[in-house]
Amino acid sequence: MSNPAKSHITSFDGTSLALHRLGEGRPVILLHGLFSDARTNWIKFGTAQALAEAGFAAIMPDLRAHGDSAHPHDPAAYPVDVLVRDVAALVDRLGLTDYDLVGFSLGARTAARAVVAGLHPRRLVLGGMGLEGLAGWARRSAFFIDAIDRFDTVRQGDPAFFAVSFMKTQKVDRVAARLLLQSVGDTDPAELARITMPTLVLCGREDRDNGSPHALAEALGDAALVEIPGTHMSSVTKPELGEEIVRFLSAP
Q: Are 217 and 224 in contact (CB under 8 A)?
A: yes
Q: Which of 10-19, 46-55, 135-144 shows the lowest mean pLDDT across its residues?
A: 135-144
CA–CA separation, 45 vs 237, rounded Å? 5
CA–CA separation, 212 vs 132, rounded Å? 7
In which band, very low, low, confident or very high, does the pLDDT at 135 lie, cut at 50, 70 and 90?
confident
Residue 37, sorted as left (phi over 0), alpha (psi -120 to 50) or beta, turns out to be beta
So what's the pLDDT on residue 252? Answer: 86
- What percent of the chain shows pLDDT beyond 90? 92
So what's the pLDDT on residue 1? Answer: 59
pLDDT at 153 over 70: yes
Could you report the per-residue pLDDT of 83-133, keeping only the tens digit for each? 999 999 999 999 999 999 999 999 999 999 999 999 999 999 999 999 999
**Could you tell me where the DSSP H helices lie in 30-173?**
38, 47-53, 82-94, 106-116, 131-135, 137-149, 161-170
The predicted model gives 199-226 an average pLDDT of 96
So what's the pLDDT on residue 221? Answer: 86
Superfamily of domain 5-134+186-250 in the CATH hierarchy: Alpha/Beta hydrolase fold, catalytic domain (3.40.50.1820)
Nearest to residue 90, comparing CAs of 155, 180, 19, 188?
19
Report how far apart the first and last C-alpha atoms of the chain are (Å, whole number). Answer: 28
Could you report the per-residue pLDDT of 160-172, keeping only the tens digit for each? 999 999 999 999 9
Q: Could you tell me how far CA 218 lies from the centroid of its own chain?
A: 21
Residue 56, sorted as left (phi over 0), alpha (psi -120 to 50) or beta, turns out to be beta
Across the chain, mean pLDDT equals 96
Residue 103 Cα distances to 100, 108, 160, angstroms: 10, 4, 24
So what's the pLDDT on residue 137? Answer: 83
Nearest to residue 203, comparing CAs of 151, 119, 132?
132
So what's the pLDDT on residue 136? Answer: 80
Q: In what order do the strands lie in the sheet with 16-22?
A: 5-10, 16-22, 56-61, 26-31, 100-104, 124-127, 199-204, 223-228
Partners of 101 in beta bridges:
29, 124
Q: Are 63 and 82 in contact (CB under 8 A)?
A: no
So what's the pLDDT on residue 189? Answer: 87
- The domains of the chain are located at 5-134+186-250
So what's the pLDDT on residue 9? Answer: 97
So what's the pLDDT on residue 2? Answer: 73
> Is the overall model pTM greater than 0.85, yes or no?
yes
